Structure 1
Amino acid sequence: MKYQLLLWVILQLCVTDTYALNLEERHLWSEDITQLQTLITEKHIDPFVNIKEEEFNASVEQLVGRLPGLNEAQVEIEIMRLTRSIGDAHTSYNIMSGAHRHYPLRFKYFGESLKVVDTTKEYRFLLGADLRGINNYSLAQLQQNLSPYVNFVDNAYSFRHSFSFHITVNKFLFGAGVSDDLNMATFKFAQGDQPITVDMGTVSMQQFAELSSDYVISEPEIHYFNFNLVGIRLAYLDNYNTVYIDFDGYPESAQLQQHCESIKDKIRDSGASNLVIDFRNNRGGDFYVGLALSACIQDLDQLDWREGIFVMMDAGTQSAAMSNAAQYQQILNATLVGSPTGADPNIASETNHFRLKNSNRSISISKRYYGFRQTPSDALYPDLPMTTHWEDYKEGRDGALLQLLGFIQDKDRSD
């Protein structure tokens, strides 16, 4: 028994040594952490609103002092704690900018349930299952314990959006102590009343990228016009007297200018008086492109500019997309529809991008401040709350959009 215990201790030490930083690595990471500290202090527009400068500097000093006892994943997690402490989504550390792998799961929140919405062929039986925990931690414990480390967060809504992604990254779980194995974890699910436990390994980033976060949406049926405009698609929903613009990414400004007349021609030809601009799951870009779109369409007198312009949003509506949603409410007299945005309308934003000189890891730092609300608010909230529930989602129905189109029909009937 003593021999077996000794062997176990030796094996554990070997595992620790396998991942522990050597002297040279500690020196290089120390330089990178100091570089990060300098960049945040000098490049952020207002870095110490949410944390005192003395407290931030003390945290940096503590991290550098702890380097001899950390592995690389733990160092990265602690850097994420530093960037998260600044308190805005645009000041973040990208853990995916270094070598990493993923657990082959895509998650999406429906209310308080975190469900599997895509996975590899091997785990298709998990589709629709609720995540209950990972290893020895329940979902509630994971949300609480990992909160200080999850980056790209402005508010509670973007936290859940970002959390559901970060827990698929092997180094994130390993560095945060959720898993003691870099490439293996035990995931616990519930499929209805049936508990399911799966010991799961990791896949490459390329394999993970092939997964989607959406079931195939077939209702409402949408036929888009043939525009070669990245991030913006346009369709006429003739049953609803509505032009629908799916704005899920930002093209170059020159591309939008090039297509402006074609966009206006399609809207004119449709004869529609209602316009829906959908910013759901748009993580942002250049909000001046969004302003250019509003300038492009503003002279279309056929549109019902009093009560026929609608902007859809959700927790994935962040950065420039949130900015444009707030601007459209003002300059297009748009009604906001959906669920709260993952971005704070009154917070430091836009980014400078940097690479840490030794590790080549990517960081972003806020460089501008825009106030889109006169009163403090943690999110842009909808005028018409509308949500796609799980029962709709799994059947391929865009519940929120269907609710809005029904609202538009009722509005037009009453006119």
Structure 2
Amino acid sequence: MKKGLFSMIVVFFIAGCSQEEIIMESMLTTEMWLEDIEEFAQRLPAKQVDFYSLIDEDDFYQKIELFKIDVPHLNDAQIKVRLNQIISSLGVAHTGMGGYFIDEKYPFDFYWFDEGIFVRNTTKEYEEALYTKLVKLNGIEINHVIKQVSSVISYENEYWLKKKIPSYLLIPEVLYGLGIIEDMNKKTSFSFENEEGEVLDLIVSKIDNPNFVIKNELNPLFYQNKDQNYWFEYLPKTKIVYIQYNQCMEMKEMPFDHFVKEVFDFMDNNETDKLVIDLRDNTGGDSSIFAPFFKAIEKHELNQKGKLYVLIGGRTFSSARINSMELKQYTNAILVGEPTGAKPNSYGESQVFKLKNSGILVQYSTKYFNMDKKDLDALYPDLEVPYTIEDFKNGIDPFLEMVINHVQK
């Protein structure tokens, strides 16, 4: 998944990357949309590996023909949603669409904790909703909304879906295209429930670049330094060296092999009881970049059970999932956290083509990676750990706490 997955980082892909939106400057005519749909219907089957193993040929073209009939009666948002639903029906997380969502969103940072979807952050105007649970959107029960929104997301397991759903609930264009809201330019009602069971109803405006109220003061280590692909810190009280590996991508100012040397030199000169590699928020890139770490850890004294830990989660995807599997297979690492958002056996080495008129990006997979005889739906941790809203409120990282308190028997 090396170079192909590297492109996934550079080019926005709705299934796996952060949302760097490209706005369509003007509405397209029916004829222009029909041209794009025809281009989509011709190019995707030709480029996506195993296409007709993923979807019945007759079913695919029937969907396309019905879609074309409906186009004159659909608005832009509805057309984009239908395109998404068709490509998402393949069930391939690396195959999806992007490059068209409008920047303005509802000013919340939602996160799917163990107990449900909560407000992790918001603006001063809606601060009373902080840490409350989302229960309705535009008067619709959240479980029903989740079911509808799931249809536009490319995913292979529930763990990836749970990481993607919260951000989609913030996009007026998606909600409008699905019929969840009546007008994406007007305010929308959100209903929240606090810990006492009281319901808070808010009428919310969309906004571009909201100024959130919570900064980094209370955040645990894994929320920090997200602008760096990799970094490390020594925790003297527990004698743990903590490495956060955010992206499988070299940093010009610190090549990964230099970084690894710096980490291991530090450990050799400072008392270190445990080494932790955090991949829980790494959505991929080039899996080969991690090779210097394997070389360094192979004969190191920390390569033993109870000394070496790898943190994984629903956002551990693509090349990061490959590195997690390799750590599990070739070292004595203990995996801690949540199941990964990518299946051990999955499609990758993605490429992109652009639809002529809309500029929508269509990402497709060119290779199938068969890496696990069991064909599980995720890479599962050895020590599974829930993440609760109370953990977040109190600045606790339960994954790291598990490592600190774990004693290998």
Q: TM-score, normalised by structure 2?
A: 0.86
Q: Is residue 277 of structure 1 aligned with residue 293 of structure 2?
A: no
Contact 2:106 2:170 in 1 (8 A): yes
Aligned to 2:204: 200
The answer for unaligned runs of 5 or more in structure 2 is: 1-25
Contact 1:100 1:171 in 2 (8 A): no
Aligned to 1:34: 38
Aligned to 1:162: 164
Query: 1:102-251 residue pairs with structure 2 within 5 A?
Result: 102-151=105-154, 153-183=155-185, 184-192=187-195, 193-204=197-208, 207-208=209-210, 211=212, 216-217=217-218, 230-251=228-249
Q: How many residues align?
A: 380
Kindly report structure 1 stretches of 4+ aligned residues shifted beyond 6 Å: 212-215, 220-224
1:82 is aligned, of 82, 86, 111, to: 86
Give the share of equivalent positions with the same residue, in percent: 26
SS of equivalent residue, structure 1 residue 182: coil
- Give the direction of change, closer, same or farther, for the CA distance of 1:259–1:403 in structure 2 (3 Å limit): closer
Contact 1:291 1:324 in 2 (8 A): no
Aligned to 2:20: none
SS of equivalent residue, structure 2 residue 29: helix
CA distance in 2, matches of 1:213, 1:144: 30
CA distance in 1, matches of 2:202, 2:222: 37
Aligned to 2:19: none
Compare 129-138 and 248-257 and name the one that shifted more.
248-257
Q: CA deviation at 1:320?
A: 1.5
* Structure 1 counterpart of 2:67, one-letter code: L
Q: Deviations over 1:16-54 (max 9, x none)?
A: xxxxx98x6111111222222233212212223332122
Q: Deviations over 1:59-114 (max 9, x none)?
A: 112112210000000000001101101111111112x5343421111111122411
Contact 2:121 2:214 in 1 (8 A): yes
Aligned to 2:289: 289
Compare 252-261 and 371-380 and name the one that shifted more.
252-261
Larger Rg: 1
Q: Is residue 51 of structure 1 aligned with residue 55 of structure 2?
A: yes
CA distance in 1, matches of 2:215, 2:175: 24
Compare 74-83 and 27-36 and name the one that shifted more.
27-36
Aligned to 2:17: none
CA distance in 1, matches of 2:82, 2:239: 52
Q: Deviations over 1:214-251 (max 9, x none)?
A: 97545579999xxx993111122233232211112233
CA distance in 2, matches of 1:329, 1:315: 17
Aligned to 2:392: 393
Aligned to 2:368: 369
Q: CA deviation at 1:257?
A: 2.9
CA distance in 2, matches of 1:214, 1:113: 23
The answer for unaligned runs of 5 or more in structure 1 is: 1-20
RMSD of aligned alpha carbons: 2.6
Aligned to 1:354: 353
* Structure 1 counterpart of 2:324, one-letter code: A
- Structure with larger RCO (C-alpha < 8 A, sep 6+): 2
SS of equivalent residue, structure 1 residue 181: coil
* Structure 2 counterpart of 1:78, one-letter code: R
* Structure 1 counterpart of 2:58, one-letter code: E
Q: TM-score, normalised by structure 1?
A: 0.84
CA distance in 1, matches of 2:293, 2:351: 25
CA distance in 2, matches of 1:42, 1:178: 34
Contact 1:49 1:86 in 2 (8 A): no
CA distance in 1, matches of 2:130, 2:357: 41
SS of equivalent residue, structure 1 residue 101: coil
CA distance in 2, matches of 1:394, 1:203: 25
Contact 1:103 1:203 in 2 (8 A): yes
